Amino acid sequence: MTRPPRTLNISDVAERAGVSPATVSRVMNGNPTVDPELARRVRETAAELGYSANPLARSLVLGRTQTIAVVVPNLANPTFQEILRGISRSASRDGFHVLVADTNETVAEERSLATEARRRTDGLVLCAPRMGEAELTALLPTLTPVVVVNRDAGHDVPVIAADYRSALHDVAQHLYDLGHRRIVYLAGVRASATNTQRAEALDELRRRHNDVSVIEIDCGVSFQDGAGAVDTVIATRATAAIGFNDLVALGLVNGLRSRSVRVPDDISVAGLDDIPFAQFASPPLTSATVPTSEMGEHAWAALHRLIEGREAAPAMFFRPRLQVRESTARAPR
Amino acid sequence: MTRPPRTLNISDVAERAGVSPATVSRVMNGNPTVDPELARRVRETAAELGYSANPLARSLVLGRTQTIAVVVPNLANPTFQEILRGISRSASRDGFHVLVADTNETVAEERSLATEARRRTDGLVLCAPRMGEAELTALLPTLTPVVVVNRDAGHDVPVIAADYRSALHDVAQHLYDLGHRRIVYLAGVRASATNTQRAEALDELRRRHNDVSVIEIDCGVSFQDGAGAVDTVIATRATAAIGFNDLVALGLVNGLRSRSVRVPDDISVAGLDDIPFAQFASPPLTSATVPTSEMGEHAWAALHRLIEGREAAPAMFFRPRLQVRESTARAPR
DNA sequence: TTGAAAGCGCTAACAG
DNA sequence: CTGTTAGCGCTTTCAA
């Protein structure tokens, strides 16, 4: 293991300016107890040499890295991309860097990835963790400061989440109002907590309307998953389908097209999330708008408070807004 | 500035195991020169205490962080999202973490963001930098090890790029073959190097076919930019339009729809990149497929080589593949 | 107001 | 094979 050649350090500057390293440190940190004239000279020397303090060394001694970590289940999912973007923009505005970790839907690695990422940073945003309730409850305290996105997480941890129960309720009710009585729901990963919320909304629909039949199909979270479910969906003879998210819904639409099933004439399809491209799909997809990048910003704000030792932010739930587009229509009679 | 409470460190483990810190260090690093029995005991103690070495301290002494930085112009752009994902996946496979920095198309901050990010990491992937040639040439040597994506960068720096010249050539030729003789091109940011490549391809088209007229319009890189250009495009009376990228093209399509101009009946529209959603657009968008996530993987591979002190990888150019879909058709007569 | 010295947590050269 | 020691680059008491 060859050690890299050493670089310009604080002593070099100190020596050149004829002062002690301590003084250079004070100047670089804007400590006002330094003689103005001396400070000027040091600053000049530093500029001349192109010196700036090694962030690693500072991190070690100060115990803070000015960096946070964001753990997402899948970087290919537009929802998490948006959340990441929201976090990244606002964190960088506050002078923080962002480390990103993609678990790739591998539940088994969530824990270690989060732990590892957390150790190199000052705090963590855990997005939609897929692990079991017990594991999460045990893990979170070891991760503080941490905030959780799109999953509920007890009372000690700030939560920023979309209310998927309400979202699915609105979408399902919209379909019911259009006359659909046989509705299929393409469920996401069982492990996903938001999937449970969605299921609850379906239960409620069943309770409220005894003339409706809701069929749940195990599917997945990706475009491919949605496309792959097409035959099962057709077999149910449902007149409407709701995707776990827009990706699944869009995949299904594509699959239906390949089977020459028309959307929305033969079957209505709706998604959840309202990803940026839902509106440009063919046909434009009915969905429920989740304010993802704002949620990212709030996640950062909550984490920032924690990092600064301020009181934890309360859990925040965002109610998605139903966005009716052309992929849903009256049920065929 | 309150110093955080100190945590479990190597001396705690050493003390508990009745050995020196050096021995613990050796054990933790798998150094084989330790008595197996002793090693076992140390490992046991470490596990018992839940100890693992502080990465910050290791980074400082070893001079490597096991982290790389990725700088992108815009995290909202699917192309950069995919590149980031490709890098992230492959880097993490090799035990590296990824710091992400979004410049938000702010040319003035590219330099400082890249420099800052580089200082906390072992290497940098600079994606499609927008800064001027001279500035880039001056900056790159201060960033090594660094690899550049989607922009040419002299001979000392590995480059991973899509051949946009070829891509635009194929798209333009495709339109020409469909009978289009009046084609409008929605240019991206002037600063973008790949924009220049695209312009070259248009020049070539003009040279080869003196019956074709190619109009260039300053536009931008986003969906909104494309939508905003709609009236200008209509005013040109062109029968076909090529977007700087798929986002612009999709924006234009949407704008045209709002003006009741039919695609492709009245005007053909094509994009560049073939982002994941190009195929689900309405109508599905003709584009040129850029293998973004593979490019990300190659970018990591090239950077990894550099970090390990191996010889620099040669510049790699990927030729995009024309993907004809329903947004382009024969020119109206 | 400034400098000397200790120490953040770790690794590696050097003795033994 | 193991411990002692020095030092990565910085900040921060403590004394002067």
Q: What was the pLDDT predicted at B198? A: 81
Mean pLDDT in residue range B207-212: 93
B182 at the A interface (CB within 8 A)? no
| Beta carbons of A100 and B101 less than 8 Å apart | no
Over chain B, what is the mean pLDDT? 93
**Which residues in chain A have Cβ-Cβ distances shorter than 8 Å to B100?**
84, 88, 98-100
Mean pLDDT in residue range B30-52: 94
- Cα atoms in the Cβ-side hemisphere of radius 13 Å centred on A145: 23
Least CB-CB distance to B99: which of A59, A98, A104? A98
pLDDT 10s digits, B93-144? 999 999 999 999 999 999 999 999 999 999 999 999 999 999 999 999 999 9
A83 at the B interface (CB within 8 A)? no
| Beta carbons of B284 and A280 less than 8 Å apart | no
- Residue B62 contacts residue A72 (beta carbons within 8 Å): no
Task: Tell me the CA–C1' distance in angstroms for A17 and C15.
Answer: 39
The answer, yes or no, to whether residue B3 has pLDDT greater than 90, is: no
Q: What was the pLDDT predicted at B196? A: 76
- Residue B248 contacts residue B221 (beta carbons within 8 Å): yes
* pTM, two decimal places: 0.93
| Beta carbons of A99 and B98 less than 8 Å apart | yes
Q: What was the pLDDT predicted at B1? A: 40
pLDDT band at B261 (very low <50, low <70, confident <90, very high): very high
pLDDT 10s digits, B163-188? 999 999 999 999 999 999 999 999 98
Question: CA–CA separation, B49 vs B69, rounded Å?
Answer: 33
Q: What was the pLDDT predicted at B80? A: 97
Mean pLDDT in residue range B304-331: 96
What are the pLDDT tens digits along chain A (333 aa)? 344 566 899 999 999 999 999 999 999 999 999 999 999 999 999 999 999 999 999 999 999 999 999 999 999 999 999 999 999 999 999 999 999 999 999 999 999 999 999 999 999 999 999 999 999 999 999 999 999 999 988 888 999 999 999 999 999 999 999 999 999 999 987 766 677 778 888 899 999 999 999 999 999 988 889 999 999 999 999 999 999 999 999 999 999 998 999 999 999 999 999 998 898 887 899 999 999 999 999 999 999 999 999 999 999 999 999 999 999 999 998
B1 CB below 7 A from strand D atoms = yes
Q: What was the pLDDT predicted at A6? A: 66
